Structure 1
Amino acid sequence: MNVRAMFIDMDGTLLKSSNTISSRNMEAVNSLINQGVKVFLATGRHYEVTAPYHKEIGLRTPMICLNGAAIHDAVTGKTMQTKTVRLNEERFHHLTAVNSWNVIIHTANGVYCKETNEEIDYWTKVGQIPPRYIGDLKQANYQDVLKYSVRTGTPCPKISAIFNTEAEVIDWHDGFELLAPNVSKWSAIKSLLQEFRISPSEVVAIGDGPNDIEMLRYVGTGVAMGNASDKVKQAADFITGHHENDGLAQFIERYLLKSKQSYAI
């Protein structure tokens, strides 16, 4: 396996449920970097809650954030590329306001949300930047939306399908997310591969969520975590261990580190 780059999802992949990087995962990633492989983070998180982990690992590569809607410079954190999504706002807010769903809107200037919760409190703690607005989003003065996140608590594919003509839809077990059409982690990866002159065939991507399916499918080697759904696993070439059991490190150690394998896959 001739690998020049690896793109790693964060939640459910790099991180344990405690939002920490295990020493084994850290060691495996650093060994890969020392071997000359470029390692990138590709996450649904926004920049402020990605950068601390990027720094902890010591990465020097751009960060793919918000499922590919933003790419941030490794050093300055400035956006290298953004893709904004435009919805029929009146219809969107009418649909979401009549239900007891939380709505989180990620913009180029920060996060706006209907109400706060444990996850948003964590974002504020890690990113050290609170939401710009909490309350009735019809009254919020936001622009340049990169991602809408609707937390319904249950799968809602019939509701999310309403937005198929306006946006790229990602369905989760507890809601859905909306991005600009044709935006994904894979679309951002393609952009970076052109910049670094790396072929998709020389790339490994690893993840566990529905937002990872495209990148797992289209890179040279796609790896699904053991905690991924069957749909995600079907898009992958390999399935590794659970994120609580260092599945990321398991794959790197077994297949990518020169000292531990013979490149005969």
Structure 2
Amino acid sequence: MRKLVAIDLDGTFLNQYYTISSLHASTVKKAQQKGAEIVIATGRANFDVQRLFQNEQLSTWVIGANGATTYDPEGHLTVSLPMETIYAKEIITWLNEENYYYEIVTDNEIFITSKAKQLLQDEMDIVQSAERSEMERARERQLGQANLQEIEDYIDVFQSEKEIYKITIVSFDEERRRIAADTLSKKGLNLFSSADFNLEIVDNKASKGNALKKLAKKLDMKQDDIIAIGDSMNDLPMLEIAGTKVAMGNATEEVKQHCDYTTETNEKDGVAHMLEREILQK
């Protein structure tokens, strides 16, 4: 029986250095050779996933921007759920007024304002409770993304009429994240968190779960054919619709409670262990 395997990226398929282990890459290829359909389901943009895939010569379906986009293995956009412009403008105006670091994710670029890097550094200097090394890794993750471009004014994005798929907010201050979530929650939007330090805002029809459900229908696969694996709260929507739910060893306790079993951590190639069990040994 064919299987559709949905794999989260950060904290799951990637290690702590935001790279793909050779074992993870080789095991995915073996699973594909056995007939499994693999989809990476991530908050990252597709072009950033392709940058990560390049060295390992991987090719999979990609659910990007927390479900706002889906690309086939050949790189064609098959699902597009951009944010409504009116919501995007309201959000960005407020974030600028309150001096938050944020990113605007489109189909081809990630935009930050010219003062964004300094805002991120200021937060690291002010927040003393968080681990410095953890904040450094978070900063490296955000600023190491593909196609990151600085702009003087966010209005430039709207004037270019680019479709906005996601707005990412990064703050190391728990209270500031709570305020942002409370202020920006509204009917037409979904808010997710893929790490302790971020908020990711997308259209209310976008989620990893909805995107995975559409992909399963396209590939004529039932719920029992779906396997999902993840570590964070934004993975719950896709885990909920999977026939087999797998948590990473480093997953949050809430994610583990929603799953059928827990595999190894991302540092110990947990995805490879799951694929061996669910695909290669059957």
Aligned residue pairs: how many?
A: 252
TM-score with structure 2 setting the length: 0.80
- Equivalent residue number for residue 9 of structure 2: 10
Letter in 2 for 1:83: L
SS at match of 1:88: helix
- Equivalent residue number for residue 20 of structure 2: 21
Q: Deviations over 1:156-184 (max 9, x none)?
A: 23431332323011134213111111311
Segment of structure 1 superposing worse, 175-184 or 59-68 = 59-68
Letter in 2 for 1:216: L
Sort the Cα spacing of 1:103 and 1:61 in 2 relative to 1 into closer, same or farther, 3 A. Answer: same
* Offset, 1:100: 3.5
2:247 paired residue among 224, 236, 254: 224
TM-score with structure 1 setting the length: 0.84
8 Å CA contact 1:224, 1:233 repeated in 2: yes
- Equivalent residue number for residue 37 of structure 2: 38
Greater helix content: 2
Q: Does 1:96 align with 2:113?
A: no
**Where in structure 2 are there 5+ consecutive unaligned residues?**
118-138
* Offset, 1:147: 0.4
SS at match of 1:44: coil
8 Å CA contact 1:40, 1:59 repeated in 2: no
* Structural mapping, 1:75-90, within 5 Å: 75=74, 77-86=75-84, 87-89=86-88
**Where in structure 1 are there 5+ consecutive unaligned residues?**
none
- Equivalent residue number for residue 215 of structure 2: 192
CA distance, structure 2, for counterparts of residue 89 and residue 70 of structure 1: 17
SS at match of 1:13: helix
8 Å CA contact 2:170, 2:197 repeated in 1: yes
8 Å CA contact 1:24, 1:249 repeated in 2: yes
* Offset, 1:120: 4.4
SS at match of 2:12: coil
Letter in 1 for 2:164: V
CA distance, structure 2, for counterparts of residue 39 and residue 62 of structure 1: 6
- Equivalent residue number for residue 64 of structure 1: 63
8 Å CA contact 1:154, 1:173 repeated in 2: no
Segment of structure 1 superposing worse, 204-213 or 162-171 = 162-171
- Equivalent residue number for residue 111 of structure 1: 110
Segment of structure 1 superposing worse, 81-90 or 165-174 = 81-90
Sort the Cα spacing of 1:56 and 1:21 in 2 relative to 1 into closer, same or farther, 3 A. Answer: same
Letter in 2 for 1:122: G
Q: Deviations over 1:197-253 (max 9, x none)?
A: 011211101111221111111110111111111222222222111111111122222
- Equivalent residue number for residue 50 of structure 2: 51
SS at match of 2:9: coil
Q: Does 1:134 align with 2:157?
A: no
CA distance, structure 2, for counterparts of residue 89 and residue 195 of structure 1: 30
- Equivalent residue number for residue 214 of structure 1: 237
8 Å CA contact 1:59, 1:74 repeated in 2: no
- Equivalent residue number for residue 262 of structure 2: 239
CA distance, structure 2, for counterparts of residue 51 and residue 88 of structure 1: 29
